[in-house]
């Protein structure tokens, strides 16, 4: 079982490298709203989901791709952890 902190680190790292830095954002807080400030756009959401599925070996259904589950690093970690602990 990977630790919560490590899950968050990997999610944060991916979002920073793939989406945030190219938009001039070099750090993100774990509770920062990723969708409200334009870090994630409509296509970015699906790349992020593909990353989560590959990295953490989980399956995220279309019905789970919601703001509540993906709005921040904290929220994404909760989604991933709820799946890996099943």
Partner 1 sequence: MAYLLPQLLKKSAQAFPEKVAVWARGRSLSYRELEEGSNQLAHLLGKLGVKKGDRVGLFFPKSVESVISMLGVLKAGGVYVPLDPQAPASRAGYILGNCGIRILITNREKRQALGAAALASVEHCILTDQEETGKAGGVLEDAVLEWSSLGHFPLSYAPEVAMTEGDLAYILYTSGSTGEPKGVMLSHRNALTFVDWCAGEFRLSSDDRLCNHAPLHFDLSVFDIYNALEAGAAVYLITEDLALFPASLASFIESQRITIWYSVPSALTLLLLHGRLTAEKMKSLRVILFAGEVFPLKYLRELAEMAPGAELYNLYGPTETNVCTFYKVERDRLAKLDKLPIGIACANTEAFLITDDGWLARPGESGELCVRGPSVTHGYWGDEEKTQTMVVPNHLQTAFEEKIYRTGDMATLGADGNFYFGGRRDRMIKSRGYRIELGEIESALLSHAAVREAAALAVPDEIVGNRIRAVVCLHPTGPMPGVDLPQRILALQQHCASRLPPYMIPESIDFCAELPKTSTGKIDRIKLAAAG
**Interface residues with partner 1 (CB under 8 A)?**
21-24, 35-38, 40-43, 45-46, 62-67, 70-71
Burial 40-75 (b: 16+ CB within 10 A, else e): beeebbeebbeebeeebebebeeeeeeeebbbbbeb
Nearer to partner 1, 2 or 50 (CB): 50
Q: Which residue has the tokens 């602990």?
A: 85
Instruction: Specify the 3-state DSSP secondary structure of 41.
Output: coil
What minimum distance in Å lies between the beta carbon of 5 and partner 1?
A: 26
Nearer to partner 1, 20 or 80 (CB): 20
CB of 5 or CB of 24, closer to partner 1: 24
């Amino acid at each position: 079982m990977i630790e919560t902190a490590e899950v968050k680190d990997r999610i944060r790292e991916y979002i920073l490298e793939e989406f945030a830095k190219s938009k001039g954002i070099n750090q993100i807080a774990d509770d920062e709203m990723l969708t409200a400030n334009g870090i994630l756009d409509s296509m970015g959401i699906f790349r992020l989901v593909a990353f989560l599925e590959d990295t953490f070996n989980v399956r995220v259904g279309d019905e789970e791709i919601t703001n509540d589950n993906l709005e921040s690093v904290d929220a994404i970690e909760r989604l991933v952890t709820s799946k890996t602990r099943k």
